[in-house]
Amino acid sequence: MSIGKTKVTEIMTRDVVAVSPYTTLGELLKLFKTSNLRAFPVVDERERLIGLISIKHVYKIFESFGRTVARYFGIVESFVDKEIPSNIFEVDIPVELSILIDVEDMMDFSPLAIENTKTLEDAYELMKKNDLQVLPVVNEGKLVGIISLFDILYFILKQRGMIPH
């Protein structure tokens, strides 16, 4: 069998660190720091994939803070009319936002995912086409794993004898 025809379930990570849409920004930042991961699937109470949150989504707080977040929470009204700083070090974000903003306010609500019956070729093509590093793996919408571009590359190199078993 071709390496590319291997099912994603054979190499995916099964113990996925996922978050709730109600995980606060402060909790999420701690999770990013302690896990060294840069993206997390977002699941509902039935473990169904409902979104994806990444460092890029958190960074957007700095870009949109002045107009979007301040109006949404009614905080720091005078900041809304100011220019949004292009330098993240100049943005004055109130500490309270670490508990007021949650994953649901920042996440991608329509993440790409791959069914657990698909192959590594399918996963790789989806990642390449959409410039992704990771894909949640689902079984009828329920999160069952995650696969990364690194997982695929590592598997290929290992199968070709370039990495000791």
Cα 101 from chain centroid? 16
Alpha helices for the chain (secondary structure H)? 25-35, 55-64, 70-73, 77-80, 97-100, 120-130, 149-159
Per-residue pLDDT, 59: 80
The CA distance from 70 to 135, in Å, is 32
Q: Which residue ranges form the domains of the chain, and what is each CATH number? A: 3-159 (3.10.580.10)
Contact present, 72 and 79 (Cβ < 8 Å): no
Per-residue pLDDT, 61: 74
Contact present, 16 and 35 (Cβ < 8 Å): no
Q: What is the pTM of this model?
A: 0.80
**Which tens digits make up the pLDDT trace of 101-136?**
899 999 999 999 999 999 999 999 999 999 999 999
Contact present, 54 and 31 (Cβ < 8 Å): no
**Which tens digits make up the pLDDT trace of 76-94?**
444 444 444 455 555 566 7
Contacts of 156 (CB under 8 A, 6+ apart): 3
